[in-house]
Amino acid sequence: MKNIRTTKQVSPVFTLSLLNIFITVFVLTISYAQSVYSSDWAFSLENSTNKAAHSWSEVVELSDIAILSSGKGVIVALIDSGVDTNNPIFASSLWQNKAELLNDKTLNEISDKNFDGVDNDSNGYVDDINGWNFGDNNNSITDQNGHGTNVAGIVLKSVPDAEIMILKINSGKSTTFYTDSVVNAIYYAVKNGADIINMSLSLSNDSNNVKTAILYAIKSGVVVVSAAGNSPYSISFPGTMQEVITVGATTSDGTSILWNSPTGSAIDITAPGKSVETIDLGGETVFVTGTSFSTPIVSGVVAALLGMNPNLKPATIENLIFSSAKDLGDSGRDDEFGWGVLSGSGIKRLASPSIIAKKSLTKIELSCYLPPTDSYTDVYIALVKSSLLDEYKINQYKGDADTLQYSLKNKPDESIWWLNSSGLWIADNVGVISIASLDIYDNGLNVSLFSDSGKGIWKSFSTSGFESGSYNIGIAVMGNSKLLAPIFWSPSILF
What CATH number has the domain bearing residue 371? Answer: 2.60.40
- Let me know if residue 272 belongs to a domain: yes
- Let me know if residue 2 belongs to a domain: no
Per the CB < 8 A criterion, the answer to whether 45 and 23 are in contact is: yes
465 and 343 in a common domain:
no
- Let me know if residue 104 belongs to a domain: no
Per the CB < 8 A criterion, the answer to whether 247 and 227 are in contact is: yes
Sheet order of strands, 196-199 included: 131-133, 163-168, 75-80, 196-199, 223-227, 245-250, 269-272
- Let me know if residue 106 belongs to a domain: no
pLDDT at 10: 30
153 and 194 in a common domain:
yes
Which of 348, 380, 396 is the C-terminal boundary of a domain? 348
Cα–Cα separations (whole angstroms), residue 77 to 74, 95, 142, 186, 303? 10, 9, 15, 9, 11
Using CA atoms, how far apart are residues 409 and 154, in angstroms rounded to an integer?
Answer: 38
181 and 203 in a common domain:
yes
**What are the E-state strand segments in 134-236?**
163-168, 176-178, 196-199, 202-203, 223-227
Which of these, 205, 246, 280, lies nearest to 43 by C-alpha position? 280
450 and 415 in a common domain:
yes
Find residue 27's DSSP bridge partners: 22
pLDDT at 89: 94
Bridging pattern class, strands 245-250 and 269-272: parallel
- Let me know if residue 275 belongs to a domain: yes
CB atoms within 10 A of CB 138: 14
Residue 424 belongs to domain spanning = 352-494
307 and 331 in a common domain:
yes
DSSP 341: B
- Let me know if residue 460 belongs to a domain: yes
- Let me know if residue 314 belongs to a domain: yes
pLDDT at 432: 47
Which of these, 163, 137, 138, 144, lies nearest to 152 by C-alpha position? 163
Domain count, the chain: 2
Query: Could you report the average pLDDT of every consecutive run of 10 residues in the chain (495 residues)?
Result: 36 25 24 37 58 80 94 97 95 92 54 65 88 95 95 97 97 91 98 97 92 98 96 93 97 91 95 95 94 97 96 94 93 92 95 81 71 82 75 53 48 56 54 51 44 39 65 81 84 80
363 and 334 in a common domain:
no
Which of 332, 348, 364 is the C-terminal boundary of a domain? 348
481 and 333 in a common domain:
no
Which of these, 318, 342, 323, lies nearest to 59 by C-alpha position? 342
CATH number at residue 332: 3.40.50.200
pLDDT at 461: 52
Sheet order of strands, 38-40 included: 176-178, 38-40, 202-203
pLDDT at 431: 46
Using CA atoms, how far apart are residues 32 and 19, in angstroms rounded to an integer?
Answer: 8
323 and 189 in a common domain:
yes
420 and 342 in a common domain:
no
pLDDT at 376: 79
- Let me know if residue 101 belongs to a domain: no
395 and 275 in a common domain:
no
181 and 310 in a common domain:
yes
Which of 317, 348, 379 is the C-terminal boundary of a domain? 348
314 and 462 in a common domain:
no
pLDDT at 318: 96
Look up the pTM and report it. 0.83
